Amino acid sequence: MGRIAYVNGRFVPQGEAAVHIEDRGYQLADAVYEVWALFDGKLADAEGHFARLERSLAELKIPMPMSRAALTVVLKEAVRRNRVREGLVYLQVGRGVAPRDHAFPIDPVEPSIVVTVKAVDRAAAEARAAKGVGVITTPENRWGRCDIKTVGLLPNALAKQAARERGAVEAWFVDELGFVTEGASSNAWIVDRDGILRTRDTNANILRGVTRLTLLDVIREDGLKVEERPFTPEEAKSAREAFITGAGTLVLPVVSVDGDPVGDGAVGPVASRLRRLYIERARATAI
């Protein structure tokens, strides 16, 4: 069965779906997006992603295109029409279509909306998590508002490509003080030599990952020690464990940084346990 996309009010076969050539998302990256993991056809961490969507839109002064409730109906209908149970839902909301001009259109335009759904092979994802993945590091070169989840992802795309060319799955950006900010599409974590979980604080120029936030809760409930405090790539290499979080990767163990092993180079017990606990929580609370 072909995939179905939702585009500006209509469900259409994805191969025929199209946007206007003067859509500001297309020309100026004047659009934001969200990605929900789908467990058994339900949206994981739904509330957190809606809250961040509303915040991203507000920061750019783009109105919410419809209420949360209406948007939920659209997302769920997209999921139903695609018959996907385990996967990802992508939502993009842009300022809309207007003759090309950097400044906002003077007369208000309707926001553009696109929704797509894709299936994820959970067994393959579990196999990858059991082996762990490599990351590379790359100098931070993004703009100063990485807290807004915009589609302006060129530095992230280039970093990810560099990772792939070096046999890694993620690139960690490193700021001018030598600290890891986050991954190209994930938040970065370590279990340091003292057994303390560490991830960058959200005063830094990073995306406030929804998975990160839920996992902080899971970690505290589990009684583990956690600090929102920066770490360097060297600290990651000498850490006991490292991992990344995101709607796409969930909690994914990292076993090498720039080709050097993290700890003993094997997937560690903390990351594996947190992956299991996160997935249990996300499945149980999905809507």
Under the binding rule (CB under 6 A), the answer on residue 246 touching ligand PLP is: yes
Q: What is the dihedral of CA 56, 230, 203, 243, to 10 degrees?
A: 20
- Which residues are paired to 88 by β-bridges? 37, 118
In angstroms, what is the minimal distance from the CB of 79 to ligand PLP?
17
Stretch of 73-81, 125-133, 205-213, 230-238 lying at the interface with ligand PLP (CB under 6 A): 205-213
Smallest distance from ligand PLP to CB 113, Å: 19
Instruction: Decide: is 210 part of the binding site for ligand PLP (CB under 6 A).
Output: yes
Of the candidates 236, 205, 243, 277, the one whose C-alpha atom is nearest the C-alpha of residue 129 is 243
| CA–CA dist 23, 100 (Å, integer) | 9
Selected binder of ligand PLP within 247, 254, 257, 274 (CB under 6 A)? 247
Question: Would you say 98 or 198 has its CB closer to ligand PLP?
Answer: 198
The residue type at 207: L
Q: Is 187 in the site for ligand PLP (CB under 6 A)?
A: yes
3-state secondary structure of 125: helix
How far is Cα 66 from Cα 113, in angstroms, rounded to an integer?
Answer: 10
User: Is there binding between residue 92 and ligand PLP (CB under 6 A)?
Assistant: no
Q: What span, in angstroms and rounded, lies between the C-alpha atoms of 227 and 6? A: 40
SS3 category, 265: coil
Q: Longest Cα pair distance anywhere in the chain, in angstroms?
A: 60
Q: Which is nearer to ligand PLP, 17 or 44 (CB)?
A: 44
Q: Closest separation between CB of residue 49 and ligand PLP, Å?
A: 7
* Residue 186 binds ligand PLP (CB under 6 A): yes
Tell me which stretch binds ligand PLP (CB under 6 A): 14-22, 164-172, 203-211, 251-259: 203-211
Stretch that binds ligand PLP, among 109-117, 119-127, 206-214, 217-225 (CB under 6 A): 206-214
How many chain residues are in contact with ligand PLP, going by CB under 6 A?
Answer: 13
Of 82, 185, 199, 256, the residue at the interface with ligand PLP (CB under 6 A) is 185
Tell whether the torsion through CA atoms of 69, 58, 189 and 127 is positive or negative: positive
Pick one of 138, 245, 267, 274: the residue that binds ligand PLP (CB under 6 A): 245
CB of residue 13 vs ligand PLP: minimum separation in angstroms? 26
Amino acid identity, position 30: D
Stretch that binds ligand PLP, among 94-102, 180-188, 193-201, 278-286 (CB under 6 A): 180-188
Site residues for ligand PLP, 4-63, by CB under 6 A, read: 35
Pair 150, 60: CB distance under 8 Å = yes
Tokens representing 37 are: 């993991």
Taking each helix axis from N to C end, the angle separating 210-221 and 46-60, rounded to the nearest 10 degrees, works out to 140
Return the half-sphere exposure (C-beta side, CA atoms, 13 A cut-off) of residue 259.
Answer: 4
Our finding on whether 212 is near ligand PLP (CB under 6 A) is: yes
118 neighbors 84 (Cβ within 8 angstroms): yes
Min separation Cβ 246 and ligand PLP, Å: 4
Give 65 or 246: the residue with its C-beta nearer to ligand PLP: 246
As annotated, the active-site residues are 149
* Interface with ligand PLP (CB under 6 A): 35, 182, 185-187, 207, 209-212, 245-247
